[in-house]
Amino acid sequence: MKNIRKVCLITNFNLYESKRYFTEKLAEAMRRQGIETKIIDVHQEPMGSGTTKLIRQFNPDFTCSFNSFQPIENGRYMWDFLEIPHISFLVDPSFYSTTLINSKYSILTCVDRSDCEAVRSNDFNRVFFWPHAVERELEAEKKSDRIYDVVLLGSCYDYESLRMAWKQRNPASLCKVLDDAIDIVFTDEKISLAEALVQAWNVSKLNPHDVDFSLLYYYLDNYTRGKDRVELVRSIKDANVHIFGDLATDNAVGILNWKHYMASQKNVTVHPPTLFGEGLNVLKQSKIVLNSMPFFRNGSHERIFTGLACGCLPITSESIYLREQFVDGKELLFYQSANRGAVNDTINSLLGNEKKRKEIAAKGRKKVMKHHTWDNRVKELLENLSILS
């Protein structure tokens, strides 16, 4: 696609409203590049013939969305009926969106480079790496009091109940595969979830007939993301930690929330969840933000970029991509799952030296505002689309 003039962005509800926020900021950056945009919110205007008519009248060069959509009928998506390209900006693991490759009008972007390779392995080449970003006007409050020493903005994944459920529903041999995959994820900081699952499966020598690998992946993803963030917070013994989040909604067996998992942590305060925009205000009042993302070992997460943009220093799990973008100890900080215990001393040292914390956060912020704004991403998007055409 070349000479992009008009783009229709489609959005919908998601937990904490992050995707609506991303859509607005991306549209603003597109307009600064001279692209005319139209945002259609299908929560306000349900998907149907009326939506299709609106898009046809606007006549965009392509439609795009951060939200996931189901086929309308017979495996065909809305953009198949419109017969124009649709870009799905995936901000979750691509494993959950594999059916998108069945459409000849689909283009995918991933926030993790391993996900791009996984998509390409299915003979689908209309995919490229396109990380998270922040709006260029996002500023850190220079004179504001940072009342929160450490914050975590995110859902609680009830990994204990999930494990109990899969043990009841599956034979011991499959449960061992999951246990082995979990161990691999937490001992090899570079391996993706899919690679860990494949590695554990190959060792098992089990018959793959009638095995639901998508369900195994779901178990592995939700268990490791739940356990890693709980153990990360539990490793912090001294500093006051403020959690803003609720029980994740996509786990049918989940019943145990943050208050359960943090019951013995007197230094932890659990707050109600905040919408994405409100979360930015929390970051502007925070010194350190925790970021756990074992599901993206070679990619980005918005908490890194928003945290630094707001003057808040991230302590994040490992990412090959982030290590290429930022200098550990000088622009942000990494922790290893196998050595979460070191986080407590690291945080104590930073909170005891506000000058150093601010210097690291400022250097990281400078990098973000130079390379990781939505304006950067629009340019990257147009470059990638020109290559695909």
How many angstroms separate the first and last alpha carbons of the chain?
5
Q: How confident is the model at residue 45 (pLDDT cuts 50, 70, 90)?
A: low
Q: Inform me whether the pLDDT recorded for 144 exceeds 80.
A: no
214-233: per-residue pLDDT in tens? 999 999 999 999 999 999 99
**169-208 per-position pLDDT tens digit:** 999 999 999 999 999 999 999 999 999 999 999 999 999 9
State the number of CA atoms in the 13 A half-sphere of 308 facing the CB. 33
Q: Which CATH superfamily is domain 148-371 in?
A: Glycogen Phosphorylase B; (3.40.50.2000)
CATH architecture observed for domain 6-133+373-388: 3-Layer(aba) Sandwich (3.40)
Q: Which residue has the tokens 């599956």?
A: 170
- Band (47; pLDDT cuts 50, 70, 90): low
Residue 80, CA distances (Å) to 77, 86, 98, 266 in order = 5, 9, 16, 54
| pLDDT score at 49 | 66
pLDDT at residue number 42: 86
pLDDT in tens, 247-306: 998 888 999 999 999 999 999 999 999 999 999 999 999 999 999 999 999 999 999 999
How far is 308 from 298, CA to CA, in rounded Å?
19
Whether 6 shows a pLDDT value over 70: the answer reads: yes
In Å, the largest CA–CA distance within the chain is: 62
pLDDT, position 157: 97
Q: Is the pLDDT of residue 3 over 90?
A: no
Amino acid letter for position 56: R
Of all residues in the chain, the percent with pLDDT exceeding 70 is 98
Q: Residue 52: what pLDDT?
A: 87
Two structure tokens written together for 68? 């996931």
What is the SS3 string spanning the chain?
Answer: CCCCCEEEEEECCCHHHHHHHHHHHHHHHHHHCCCEEEEEECCCCCCCHHHHHHHHHHCCCEEEECCCCCCCECCECHHHHHCCCEEEECCCCHHHHHHHHHCCCEEEEECEHHHHHHHHCCCCCCEEECCCCECCCCCCCCCCCCCEEEEEECCECCHHHHHHHHHHHCCHHHHHHHHHHHHHHHHCCCCCHHHHHHHHHHHHCCCCCCCCHHHHHHHHHHHHHHHHHHHHHHCCCCCCEEEECCECCCCCCCCCCHHHHCCCCCCEEEECCCCHHHHHHHHHCEEEEEECCCCCCCECCHHHHHHHHCCCEEEECCCHHHHHHCCECCCEEECCHHHCCHHHHHHHHHHCCHHHHHHHHHHHHHHHHHHCEHHHHHHHHHHHHHHHC
The residues of the chain that CATH labels 3.40.50.2000 are 6-133+373-388, 148-371
